[in-house]
Amino acid sequence: MIRRFLNKVFGPKKSRRSGKLHTLTASQHSLRPQAISPCALRVIKTLQENGFQAYVVGGAVRDLLLQHSPKDFDVATNATPEQIRRLIRRSRIIGRRFQIIHVPCHDEIVEVTTFRGHAPHDHHSQTDEHGRLTRDNVFGTLEEDSARRDFTANALFYDPVHNLLLDYFSGAEDIAARRLVMIGDPVHRFREDPVRLLRAIRFSAKLGFTLDPTLIAPLHDLGDLLAPIPESRLFDELLKLLLSGQARTCLELLRQFGLHRHILPHLDALQSNPDHARFITRALNDTDERLQARKTVSPGFLLAALFWPSVHTLWQARQAQGEPLYPALFGAMETVLDAQRKTLPIPHRFDGTMKEIWGLQPRFEQRNGQRPFRLLENPRFRAGYDFLLLRSASGDVTPELGVWWQTFQDADSDTRTSLLVQETRKPRSRRRRSP
């Protein structure tokens, strides 16, 4: 009670926190209980039968309204984690700062979260000098939980048992208009969590939503707030941008607002070179097409493509200065990755893959003797070959090289031998004996 009183007195203004509840019935929305996963539906029914509120929340509701297939179904409730764990078998508590429940069901895991509230101005809430929340772990009400969410499109609650859609901030209306709107004052909300800058870019690109005019200036002005964000969290958000199915649009928006300087600063130099821009555009388009076709994508491969123009340029420059082929290539790799580490380091699990793909590229030029046969046995051959095809399609190498390797792979052993390029050996110069 004391906390709630302090929150009312010292908490943020009501204009930002409160919304007017609109309850949409089955005739007013397009959602159907059959679209909810059986596991999430079972969790919601169990909680409601025991006197608790429980709803499908967030991205799943948004995606269903857009006629998309949600990748998962999250549930929000007023039950505490301990109450949920006692009611639902096989559930387990995850997290320390703010506990959530994971409910495993066959091939999916339903994440169940207790409604979050507004932290009062006491030791349970803390912000840094930029206004970023550093500690915030207070349970709350449905209305408070809705107000805490970032965009109106993500603040919808669906009750599949009674087929009702609860909307505090006109999120359904914004989704219908394909408009991305922040709940509350954008500057304040971006300062609370600067990663929302990148989420705004991702949602706008992925969903095809126009940015609300109130977001434009903060997106331009607040990029420096990303600097103190933990590298692991920032890199995870970068991967979400690249694997959103709209990677090319995401990077275009990042550059438009200058946010790329805080995660991928080398893009500026690449855009001034038409060949490099064409290579990266081709890589991003191929990735988007694979994701839209529900095919797998390797983050390491895509990152290798994003940084290859920088590596290739430096590699050529080092060779022109007299460095041998492989030392020049490996030196170029390290120089480019070292420069990136000053802004946002690439984790070792990815930069190892990147180096392997880059290191294979000179070997595709060697089509004589046993070298092609040994390259076929390399565990990274397929990734290296796909990278070669990407280079070929963008004019980085001749198309003939990609065709040769395709033919060589598909041929039998005798035909492969006949395909080998004969090595031309330079005649050895004889030393003159001194008289």
**Interatomic CA distance for residues 87 and 42, integer angstroms:** 12
In the block, residue with structure tokens 């870019």: 201
Q: Are 115 and 78 in contact (CB under 8 A)?
A: yes
Q: Is 221 a catalytic residue?
A: no
Q: Are 103 and 38 in contact (CB under 8 A)?
A: no
3 state SS of 244: coil
**Interatomic CA distance for residues 29 and 176, integer angstroms:** 11
Nearest to 242 by CA among 194, 300, 316: 300
Q: Are 305 and 280 in contact (CB under 8 A)?
A: yes
* Burial zone of 173 (CB within 10 Å; 0-12 exposed, 13-18 middle, 19+ buried): middle
**Interatomic CA distance for residues 283 and 299, integer angstroms:** 12
Q: Is 386 a catalytic residue?
A: no
Q: What are the φ and ψ backbone dihedral angles of 275, each rounded to 5 degrees? A: -65, -45
Nearest to 245 by CA among 204, 290, 211, 280: 290
Residues 323, 327, 331, 333, CA torsion sign = positive
Helices (H), 213-361: 213-221, 231-242, 247-257, 267-271, 274-292, 299-320, 325-341, 348-360
3 state SS of 324: coil
Residue tagged active-site, from 63, 136, 145, 150:
150
Q: Is 74 a catalytic residue?
A: yes
The CA-based angle 387-413-301, given to 5 degrees, is: 15
User: Which of the residues are catalytic?
Assistant: 72, 74, 150
